Amino acid sequence: MADADSIGPVSARPGFAGPRRRLRPVVGKARGILRESLPELAPSDLVLVACSGGPDSLALAAVAAFFQHRKAFRVGAVVVDHGLQEGSGEVARQTADALRQLGLAPVEVRTVRVVPGSGGPEDSARKARYDALAAAAVEHRARAVLLGHTLDDQAEQVMLGLARGSGTRSLSGMPASREFAGALLLRPFLPLRREETLEICAVEGLEPWHDPSNDDPGFTRSRIRHRVLPFLEAELGPGIAQSLYRSASILAQDADFLDQLAGREFTRIAEVGADRVLLAEAELNALPTALRHRVLARAVVELGGAQPSFERLRAAESLLRRQGSAGPVQLAGKVSAYRQARNSGPSYGKLVLKRLSQSQET
């Protein structure tokens, strides 16, 4: 199941490019949201829409096409064929044809190979998709890549984070903007509801494909969408999705600020080597817990590891008390942490985070 919108073919009904129509409020709203989310662009600058053919990304493509017709900037599209469904190649081809009918150029289909990983099929498909989008952004020198996630997607993402017991960064949901392959990765439609993208498609004479896997209860996101959120609406009253979106927006600001502070502290106290990071214990201990955990996590990521869990961070933090074991404590991504037990050597008084060598891994 896709984490944004459906995967499938789409068609434009006859008359799409017909007589000038009165602007519908939802279309005007979407155009305003998109324009405000974009950086300053020249007519020659290219923006790529990641379009699956589902209602969210198709509506985004139609709204972006308006600016291409006005020659504000160029708009192209990328359709990623994951090859996970029977007939996915034909689905991708039809989607690309519909995007060309909207006037987008270049439009290309990128077929990817989804390699199973520890994060499950959805995570593996997502990684393959973003790799393909990054390659397209670099090849076409795009200024921005647009994704069609909506407010409803953000609410579901926050619920997933709550179910996993995640921290501030995860509960802040998907970022509206981040750097990506020399461009910006933007989610301009986060303030829009899913029903509004369906309305945009109807207004623009477009028929999106609805991926049946989005209704498959075998996927956690699908159960949140069709069972959990409707149950909460029924029991707690309407507006749950909007409340979760609002909470994510507030938490994103907090997480950005804490990450900025932690980055400064990491720069101040960390000694970064080829395969290890040394953190002064006294100065690390003096930090508030929220910053200390972030500095530890930054050291792990600096060594090529993944974001450690709360439990692993607490285990590494326990080394600072100099009681019991000196480690090592295994962290995410084959990175371990330990403290120098003896009062000798340059690493004494410092927490050592080290990346395992290939020989150690095997």
Instruction: Please tell me the predicted confidence (pLDDT) of residue 5.
Output: 39
pLDDT tens profile 290-326: 999 999 999 999 998 888 889 999 998 888 877 667 7
Checking if the pLDDT of 249 tops 70, the result is: yes
228 plus 281 within the same structural domain? no
Which of 196, 221, 243 is a domain's end point?
243
106 plus 213 within the same structural domain? yes
CA dihedral over 168, 337, 332, 135, signed as positive or negative: positive
16 plus 99 within the same structural domain? yes
215 plus 119 within the same structural domain? yes
235 plus 293 within the same structural domain? no
pLDDT tens profile 37-50: 999 999 999 999 99
- Cα diameter, the chain: 82
Q: How much of the chain, in percent, has pLDDT values that exceed 90?
A: 63
Checking if the pLDDT of 30 tops 60, the result is: yes
Checking if the pLDDT of 57 tops 90, the result is: yes
- Which domain does 224 fall in, by range? 11-243
Instruction: Please tell me the predicted confidence (pLDDT) of residue 123.
Output: 78
Per the CB < 8 A criterion, the answer to whether 77 and 97 are in contact is no
Total domains in the fold of the chain: 2
Segments of the chain assigned E as strands: 11-12, 46-50, 74-81, 107-111, 144-146, 177-180, 183-186, 206-207, 270-272, 276-280, 329-331, 335-339, 350-355
191 plus 80 within the same structural domain? yes
Which of 228, 243, 258 is a domain's end point?
243
pLDDT tens profile 109-139: 998 888 876 566 777 888 899 999 999 999 9
More confident residue, 111 or 145: 145
Mean pLDDT value across residues 65-89: 89
Give dist(CA 313, CA 346) in Å, integer.
Answer: 24
179 plus 281 within the same structural domain? no
Instruction: Please tell me the predicted confidence (pLDDT) of residue 326.
Output: 75
Per the CB < 8 A criterion, the answer to whether 219 and 1 are in contact is yes
Identify the top-confidence range among 14-23, 202-211, 228-237: 228-237
323 plus 220 within the same structural domain? no
Q: Which residues pair with 186 in a beta bridge?
A: 146, 177
Q: Could you tell me the two tokens for 139?
A: 């090849």
Phi, psi for residue 289 in degrees, rounded to 5: -55, -45
Mean pLDDT value across residues 168-192: 95
Q: What mean pLDDT, rounded, does the chain reach? A: 87
Helix axes 310-318, 289-302, angle to 10 degrees: 100
Give the annotated binding-site residues.
52-57
Checking if the pLDDT of 346 tops 80, the result is: no
239 plus 293 within the same structural domain? no
Checking if the pLDDT of 92 tops 80, the result is: yes
Instruction: Please tell me the predicted confidence (pLDDT) of residue 11.
Output: 55
Checking if the pLDDT of 13 tops 80, the result is: no
User: Is residue 123 one of the residues assigned to a domain?
Assistant: yes
Instruction: Please tell me the predicted confidence (pLDDT) of residue 44.
Output: 97
Per the CB < 8 A criterion, the answer to whether 187 and 174 are in contact is yes
What confidence tier does 20 reach under pLDDT thresholds 50, 70, 90? low
Mean pLDDT value across residues 14-42: 83
Give dist(CA 123, CA 79) in Å, integer.
Answer: 18
User: Is residue 2 one of the residues assigned to a domain?
Assistant: no
Checking if the pLDDT of 3 tops 60, the result is: no
Give the annotated binding-site residues for ATP.
52-57
Which pairs from 357-361 meet CB under 8 Å and 24+ separation?
Answer: 357/275, 361/334
User: Is residue 267 one of the residues assigned to a domain?
Assistant: no
CA dihedral over 227, 230, 236, 239, signed as positive or negative: positive
Checking if the pLDDT of 268 tops 90, the result is: yes
Per the CB < 8 A criterion, the answer to whether 351 and 321 are in contact is no
Indicate which CATH number applies to the domain containing 312.
3.30.465
Give me the torsion for CA of 336, 340, 345, 348, rounded to 10°.
110
User: Is residue 99 one of the residues assigned to a domain?
Assistant: yes
Instruction: Please tell me the predicted confidence (pLDDT) of residue 167.
Output: 86
201 plus 327 within the same structural domain? no
User: Is residue 250 one of the residues assigned to a domain?
Assistant: no
